[in-house]
A and B are shown apart, each in its own frame.
Chain A
């Protein structure tokens, strides 16, 4: 019988080759340890698929960011060039239809996942103390995400885009007192003009994504700092086991509910 491999063995040459740069980085920055801490931190035993909605939303955002950067290499935000450049991306460039499709449909996926994630947090009660701030950050992210949808919708510069934006801006305009100022600011003038398109383009690809990235980092920091909540049915919720239900003389527990087999153990 050959001897079992031991942990204290001298690492192989290949392993050393991999580890050397990582060790170098770790010694100077602590980033490797930090990444390990982030990826392998403890989460409640009974967190499940519902808890992946946040990461799914993050993934959708990363897809939007990457495809958006690539699309910006070909898109021209001018009234004369915008529609033509979108046609060029979609019809002429190799795989342009795919990248534009990913960005276009991914936008809907991102918004839908945002709502699912928010619903999960709400239904699980995961917004409660001490996580209220993260809920506030999340709602801000939701609003910014919808602003991304609003500003991005104008960029194809076709009839749908144009009139949808006219209606959207005028909806803002009906807000009492400040509405017309807001819509005139969004329009970059009293009426939609060439500056509206560039303004929406800058908002869509610079300002709002920057804010989103910053707030996502804060959101993740708070998730790591405060930990993940257990589901409401968890035995470990609030860090303690539920007491076994006491058997009543009539064989029932609580008020009317029949005792489940094996108590609350699932």
Chain B
């Protein structure tokens, strides 16, 4: 088969014949665009698994269409020879139109084996068996791999929302004083879920609640200034029907600084020096039966004004080191879902 095609191709070139009708070269499949579309479909499916089921459906359709077209393209040679209704690419360019069997190149140009070839041999049973064995193996491999891959990847992107955290009675936060507050996001998870927020009561039920996660690479920022360790108190709270502990330590910071790479922030969390790319993250809060409750954290580019008068544009919570505004934020268009 291949020998025939190749020898025809060579003959074409030597004879200087014009290119064949459908623009195909002599032998082998030409370059096609279908695999790219197929890959786009697969990417769409994978992204859709995380983002939305609609994208999965779109990806399946895209992949199916392009996969079908790709397979058609790739098997054109096989089908072209078995299907006599469609003339072979070489047919149009064949120099001699032999009657009956279609155009045949000059016998001297092709090996004798190709002339004797029968239609029966052109799609032999062995090729079918090879293809079906490989296809079956790919199917089994896919059936095994896909669920495992989903198990590895998907749990990281599901149910990541931040639970509300009860920080205890409002009386523990005296007006215009900073309180270093440590708490557990999930009381049952243990020390690994320990978190810290810097809280200032601005009066009139307004609070400034700053996360201690540095906006550079996520180290814990420290208060620059006195920390009244001797006035630390631990209070017991009930959080999501579970017992939890919150520690409250008064402090008199003049700003916040990160021990890892030296990022510095002022009391509103705005960057004043060092490598951080934005201001410190903040927490939404609510007041439930005279208890201060932390809600979701959010990211901040810059805080204008101070205390209760601060003007803040809240961005969805973004990883450290990522810009939330300006041209650099185009590098981080999508944040992972589930939080």
Chain A contacts to B: CB under 8 angstroms = 79-80, 163, 166-167, 169-171, 173-174, 176-177, 179-181, 183-185, 187-195
Interface residues as binary, B300-339 with A (CB distance below 8 Å gives 1, 0 otherwise): 0000000000000000011111100000000111111011
A163 in contact with B260 given A171-B217, A185-B156, A193-B189 (CB within 8 Å): yes
Task: Let me know if B319 and A166 touch, CB within 8 A.
Answer: no
Task: Let me know if A194 and B189 touch, CB within 8 A.
Answer: yes
Task: Let me know if A180 and B335 touch, CB within 8 A.
Answer: yes
Choose one: B219, B322, B339; the contact of A179 (CB below 8 Å). B322
8 smallest CB-CB distances across A and B, nearest first, come from A176-B331, A174-B321, A173-B319, A190-B160, A170-B218, A170-B217, A190-B339, A167-B217
One of B62-70, B82-90, B190-198 contacting the partner: B190-198
Enumerate 6 A-B pairs (CB-CB under 8 Å) in ascending A order: A163-B220, A166-B218, A171-B217, A190-B338, A191-B193, A194-B190
- The answer to whether the Cβ of B78 comes within 8 Å of any Cβ in the partner chain is no
Bound together, the chains give a CA A188 to CA B191 distance in angstroms of: 17
- The answer to whether the Cβ of B123 comes within 8 Å of any Cβ in the partner chain is no
Q: Distance in Å from the Cβ of A90 to the closest Cβ of chain B?
A: 21
- The answer to whether the Cβ of B99 comes within 8 Å of any Cβ in the partner chain is no
Task: Let me know if A193 and B156 touch, CB within 8 A.
Answer: no
Bound together, the chains give a CA A114 to CA B333 distance in angstroms of: 37
Task: Let me know if A180 and B319 touch, CB within 8 A.
Answer: yes
Bound together, the chains give a CA A181 to CA B332 distance in angstroms of: 10
Task: Let me know if B160 and A170 touch, CB within 8 A.
Answer: no
Choose one: B218, B220, B317, B332; the contact of A176 (CB below 8 Å). B332
Bound together, the chains give a CA A167 to CA B320 distance in angstroms of: 9
Which of B219, B332, B334 has the largest count of A CB atoms less than 10 A from its CB? B332
Bound together, the chains give a CA A181 to CA B193 distance in angstroms of: 21
Bound together, the chains give a CA A145 to CA B37 distance in angstroms of: 35
Q: Taking chain B's interface residues, is the majority helix, strand, or loop, or is none over half, making it mixed?
A: loop
Task: Let me know if B260 and A167 touch, CB within 8 A.
Answer: yes
Q: Distance in Å from the Cβ of A264 to the closest Cβ of chain B?
A: 49
Task: Let me know if B338 and A188 touch, CB within 8 A.
Answer: no
Task: Let me know if A179 and B155 touch, CB within 8 A.
Answer: no
Task: Let me know if A189 and B319 touch, CB within 8 A.
Answer: no
Task: Let me know if A193 and B332 touch, CB within 8 A.
Answer: no
Task: Let me know if A166 and B217 touch, CB within 8 A.
Answer: yes
User: Across the interface, which residues of B come within 8 angstroms of A188, CB to CB?
Assistant: 155-156
Bound together, the chains give a CA A170 to CA B217 distance in angstroms of: 5
User: Across the interface, which residues of B come within 8 angstroms of A169, CB to CB?
Assistant: 218
Using A180-B336, A194-B190 as known contacts, list a sample of 5 further A-B pairs with CB atoms less than 8 Å apart, ordered by residue number in A.
A166-B217, A179-B319, A180-B334, A188-B155, A190-B162
A170 in contact with B321 given A79-B191, A185-B153, A188-B155 (CB within 8 Å): yes
Choose one: A170, A177, A189, A192; the contact of B333 (CB below 8 Å). A177
Bound together, the chains give a CA A176 to CA B323 distance in angstroms of: 11
